[in-house]
Amino acid sequence: MLSNLSVLIHTFNGYEWLWAGCLKGWKEQSLPDELQMYWGTDTQAHGDHHFGRFRVIYSGEGNWSDRLVVLLSQIGTKYVFYAQEDHWPIKSVPDLGKMMDLMVKNDLKRLQIAPKNKYYKLKEAKEFSLFEPDSKYLVSHQPSIWERSFLLEQVRYAETPWINEYEGTKRLNNTTQGQKIGIFAHNWYHHACIKGKFVEI
């Protein structure tokens, strides 16, 4: 199952100051050897880092959404565990095999692996929760396993990440696909940057 899942950390060189903490957190994870791991940034004009198991891939310069499309086109797995450079692992990631079982058995398009918050409208299921189709944040860049083709469908040319979450959610509200988004509540990472400012652990 995990042979069809990749980890993608989506970043760009402007946030290189966050890379060390993120890489350290991922290095401390015990992850199966079959899991493919990608570090996606814009250009090769960055400093030296110990990327460990991550294969570094490049999008070229451009808008957030356009860079993401280029990175995803370099990944061949059906599913992508998407996170960003300011999501620093501080506890163990949940069993990704179990997370993939939830994805496949429940025909989910996205499974968010993060704490719940007050902005989500949720319906409880047996092992996870489903977003209501009229909820906010059906599209969210919090760490999530996505069906890669579905993630590609949610981005538009020249979108910022904030516009993508807002407009992408509006596009999905009250659709069939909008009913296939879940959340597995787990507090495993530190959000190290909010509005461009570093947040201490």
Three-state DSSP at 61 gives coil
CA atoms within 13 A on the CB side of 6: 23
Q: What is the pLDDT of residue 34?
A: 94
Q: What is the pLDDT of residue 125?
A: 84
Q: What is the pLDDT of residue 27?
A: 97
Spatial neighbors of 155 by CB under 8 A, at least 6 apart, are 65, 68, 69, 164, 168
Q: 156-177 pLDDT, tens per residue?
A: 999 999 999 999 999 999 999 9
24 alpha-carbon distance from chain centroid: 18
Domain boundaries, the chain: 2-198
Q: What are phi and psi of 76, to 5 degrees?
A: -100, -5
The CATH code that applies to domain 2-198 is 3.90.550.10
Q: 110-153 pLDDT, tens per residue?
A: 999 999 999 999 999 889 999 999 999 999 999 999 999 999 99
Query: Looking at the whole model, is its pTM more than 0.85?
Result: yes
